[in-house]
Amino acid sequence: MSLLQVKDVTHAYASSTLFWQSKRHAPVLSGVSLTIEPGKCLGLLGTSGAGKSTLGKVILGLEKPQKGQVLFQGMNLYDTDASARRRLRRDLQVVFQDCYSSVNPRMTAEQIIGEPLQNYESLSSKEQKRTVGELLERVGLNADDMTKHPHQFSGGQLQRINIARAIALKPKLIVLDEAVSSLDMVTQSHILALLSDLKSTYGLSYLFITHDIKAAYSISDALAVMEKGEVVEFCEDKAQFLQS
Ligand code: ADP
Ligand code: ADP
Rounded CA-CA distance 116/122 in Å is 11
Q: Residue 20 — φ and ψ, nearest 5°?
A: -85, -5
Distance (Å) from CA 57 to ligand 1 centroid: 10
Mean pLDDT, 10 residues at a time, over the chain (244 residues)? Answer: 97 81 88 98 97 97 95 92 87 89 91 95 95 97 96 95 97 97 94 97 98 96 98 94 76
Amino acid, res. 13: Y
**Residue among 201, 204, 205, 206 whose CB has most ligand 2 atoms within 8 A, to mutate:** 201
CA-closest residue to ligand 2 atom 4: 134
Does 134 sit in the ligand 2 pocket, CB within 6 Å?
Answer: yes
pLDDT at 210 (0 to 100)? 97
pLDDT at 80 (0 to 100)? 86
Does 54 sit in the ligand 1 pocket, CB within 6 Å?
Answer: yes
Amino acid, res. 168: A
Does 39 sit in the ligand 2 pocket, CB within 6 Å?
Answer: no
Rounded CA-CA distance 159/155 in Å is 6
Does ipTM come in above 0.85?
Answer: no
pLDDT at 168 (0 to 100)? 97
Q: Residue 209 — φ and ψ, nearest 5°?
A: -85, 130
